[in-house]
């Protein structure tokens, strides 16, 4: 029974094959996530440092942690914490838009003494939900869990669609504003050109008349 549950939930969960990248000790890397509001985002990371003896990346022995900064679309910091070398960070968005997740190691080195390998996995929305926990808490059968997962997926899709409508409206406003401005700037430039030409001729005419050349 438990084995079956594990099998089912394993397939329900998207297999989190994490990506890794190298970051210098004083370097900062940022990732952008464009998400609708009230969406949960979970990030899992693991840091490894290069060990010259083994000539490979091993888990960090020194006290290196990762400082995580998360900014919301209005550039206000919603999370700024230092975590251990391996950990996870979670946040729920309150405004829809582009959130920026920045990582940098809190190493006190003044220059890049080595490269750190960071494994990162960012899950958004219903991918971030731990269905094993949900099943244990609400005591659901496998069928109920599958239906619950479908319901969560549909809810996420609806939220994303609403956000898309809002974004399209903003895009349309910018387009229309640009369209109007192109017209008004052209008219303004033509008028100013005519006025300047007119003023130039008048000014020079009166100047030459004063000099008795005309």
Partner 1 sequence: MDRCFPYLLCLAGLLSFVVCSEIDLTVDIPAGRQECFWQELPASTTCEIDYQVIDGGDMDISVYVAGPEGRVIYMEQRKAENVIKFTSEGKGDYKICFDNSFSTFSNKVVFFEIFIEDGQSDDDDDEDHKLAMREDYKAMESQLDMTVEQFLGILDRSKKNLERSVQVQTLIRIHEAKDRNTQEANFFRVNFFSCFQLAVMMVVGLGQVIMIRSLFQDRRSVSGASLRART
- Which one, 63 or 194, has the nearer CB to partner 1? 194
Instruction: Output 79 or 102, the one with its CB closest to partner 1.
Output: 102
Nearest to 6 by CA among 126, 132, 140: 132
145-150-151-155 Cα dihedral, nearest 10 degrees: 140
The nearest distance, CB 63 to partner 1, in angstroms, is 25
| Rounded (10°) angle between helices 131-138 and 142-210 | 130
- Closest CB 134 distance from partner 1, rounded Å: 16
Nearer to partner 1, 11 or 63 (CB): 11
Q: Could you give the maximum distance between any two Cα atoms of the chain, in Å?
A: 111
Residue pair 114/62 in contact by the 8 Å Cβ criterion: no
SS3 2: helix
Where along the sequence are the contacts to partner 1 (CB under 8 A)? 4, 7-8, 11, 14-15, 17-22, 29-34, 121-122, 142-143, 146-147, 149-150, 153-154, 156-157, 160-161, 164, 167-168, 170-171, 174-175, 177-178, 181-182, 185, 188-189, 192-193, 196-197, 199-200, 203-204, 207-208, 211-213
CB of 4 to partner 1, least distance (A): 6
């Amino acid at each position: 029974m438990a084995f079956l549950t594990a099998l089912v939930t394993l397939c329900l969960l998207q297999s989190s094959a994490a990506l890794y990248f190298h970051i210098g000790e004083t370097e900062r890397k940022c990732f952008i996530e464009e998400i609708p509001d009230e969406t949960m985002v979970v990030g899992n990371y693991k840091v490894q440092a290069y060990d010259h003896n083994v000539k490979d990346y091993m888990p960090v022995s020194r006290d290196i942690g990762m400082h995580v900064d998360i900014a919301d679309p209005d550039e206000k910091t919603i999370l700024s914490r230092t975590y251990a070398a391996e950990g996870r960070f979670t946040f729920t968005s309150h405004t829809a838009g582009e959130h920026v997740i920045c990582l940098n190691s809190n190493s006190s080195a003044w220059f890049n003494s080595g490269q750190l390998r960071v494994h990162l996995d960012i899950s958004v929305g219903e991918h971030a939900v731990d269905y094993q926990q949900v099943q244990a808490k609400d005591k659901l059968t496998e069928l109920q869990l599958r239906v619950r997962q479908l319901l969560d997926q549909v809810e996420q899709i609806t939220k994303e669609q609403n956000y898309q409508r809002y974004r399209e409206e903003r895009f349309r406003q910018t387009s229309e504003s640009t369209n109007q401005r192109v017209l008004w700037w052209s008219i303004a430039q033509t008028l100013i050109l005519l006025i300047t030409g007119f003023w130039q001729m008048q000014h020079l005419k009166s100047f030459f008349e004063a000099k008795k050349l005309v």
